[in-house]
Structure 1
Amino acid sequence: MPDPATPRLRVLVVDDETKLTELLRLELDVEGYDVDVASDGATGLVKARSQPSPDLIVLDWNLPDFSGVDICQRIRRGGVTTPILMLTGHDDVADRVTALDAGVDDYLIKPFSIEELMARLRAMQRRAQSFSGSGQESLPVRLSVGDLRVDTSTRDVVRGERTIQLSVKEYDLLLFLMRAGGKVLERADIMRGVWGENFYGDDNLLDVYIRYLRQKIESPDRPTLIHTVRGVGFILRDETQQAT
């Protein structure tokens, strides 16, 4: 049971399935959440951008006016960082990459159990709280490895004189690798750090994003920066500088 002394978090549910939204409203209320519902993407977008913004968003992929991916992209472009859980019937790596690139924090396949949805929301809440209290703001706003530079205040990524455009998760992955300070990172640690505990063990997803990142930041005339450590994970470092 929720602690009556704990402030109730606000959850926005964006889904056009009336029976599902009513069920979620009842179950989330019992779990101690305040629930707001939108039955289409446009209404959901307005409510997501409203002040105060919701603490968590549950967003369906298939909406009558826009796709959930479109709505998520618009939410993120507006500067809203609220954790978003995507509900969908799509279950392949390409669809998960699409959703994650749009800025989704977690991904739940229909049909699902209420218990799993609650666990996912709690995990997103813990991760958001952990990030906000982890001292990330005190880290340097400019990071560099070799000739690769990242400005965390503007999210600009530059290699040499070339500006690189990264998706949300590509940027998150690059930043996680850079902040390791040249240390080898295990696959499980990368998955938990970038995607959260619910994606642990989804090796295909990590390999897809490492490949995307390499395609964007590596080039034949520059030293390789992302290295595979077989059986362990990955490391980001300029080995030409290590050698000197």
Structure 2
Amino acid sequence: MRVLVVEDNRQLARLLEQGLREAGCSVVLAHDGRAGLRVAQEGGHDVLVVDWLLPELDGLALLRALRRARDATPVLMLTARDAVADRVAALDAGADDYLVKPFAFVELLARLRALERRRKGAAASVIAVADLEIDTVGRTARRGGRELGLSAREFAVLERLALGRGRIVTREQLHDHVYDAAADLASNVVDVHVANVRKKVDVGFECKLIHTRRGLGYVLEVPT
């Protein structure tokens, strides 16, 4: 999941960045509203976390600008403003969710994952491919009833393949949605993680589910 965080409190922004990265997300930071709007308009994000009280351009104005441009990327408003009128104003402006500071990080992460699933048309928390089950809420995967023991990054790779099941997911798509922009795509970081996931998903099973499409990418599917 690729997340844009627009937050002027740099300490909080760093904490969010660290927590999201440890959860297997790719994170982009912006520290004022105008910069956040510019980065958001570049596209490629699965969800946005936007503070309300931002310098240069407040979060509500940023949100309205995105919606006027028909940008439907899910937005979670993150703010200390907890009045009902504020919640209504944010939701009416096009926010998809609203979380009041102080908050529990695990709740924020769960809300972001729910927004991503909704956007990708995968509202059900469990994605099944043959005897492989990916629980996008519990962040676990089983095959044949056996826990696969994936790391956070490995789970993020498998989840991205599962959300595109039956379709080719390119190395670039995996990089953009799973890894930070600083990761070197020219290296074999994507291939290494896919190889590790493939070992845990396919080794010991006659039916192989993760397939390489040489020169194109990877696909998660039941072979015909």
Alpha-carbon shift at residue 128 of structure 1 (Å):
4.4
> Where does residue 22 of structure 1 map in the other structure?
none
Alpha-carbon shift at residue 217 of structure 1 (Å):
1.2
**Percent identity over the alignment?**
23
Q: Is the 8 A contact 1:142 1:152 kept in 2?
A: yes
Q: How does 1:117-156 map to 2 (within 5 A)?
A: 128-129=47-48, 130=73, 132=75, 135-137=116-118, 139=122, 140-156=124-140
Q: Is the 8 A contact 1:84 1:105 kept in 2?
A: no
> Where does residue 83 of structure 1 map in the other structure?
17
- Equivalent residue letter for 2:17: P
Which one has the largest radius of gyration?
1
Q: How does 1:93-108 map to 2 (within 5 A)?
A: 103=24, 105=26
Q: Is the 8 A contact 2:132 2:141 kept in 1?
A: yes
Alpha-carbon shift at residue 190 of structure 1 (Å):
1.5
Structure 1, unaligned runs of 5 or more = 1-7, 11-32, 37-53, 59-81, 87-99, 108-117
Alpha-carbon shift at residue 158 of structure 1 (Å):
0.8
- Equivalent residue letter for 2:9: D
Given the two structures, how large is their TM-score scaled by the length of structure 1? Answer: 0.49
| Bigger RCO (CA 8 Å, 6+ sep) | 2
> Where does residue 14 of structure 2 map in the other structure?
57
- C-alpha distance after superposition, 1:51-81 (max 9, x if no partner): xxx2x216xxxxxxxxxxxxxxxxxxxxxxx
Choose from 173, 178, 186 the match for 1:189: 173
How many positions carry a matched residue from both structures?
145
Choose from 188, 194, 217 the match for 1:204: 188
- Equivalent residue letter for 1:205: V
> Where does residue 34 of structure 1 map in the other structure?
9
State the 4+ residue runs in structure 1 displaced beyond 6 angstroms: none
Q: Is the 8 A contact 2:26 2:177 kept in 1?
A: no
Alpha-carbon shift at residue 221 of structure 1 (Å):
3.2
Superposition RMSD in Å:
3.6
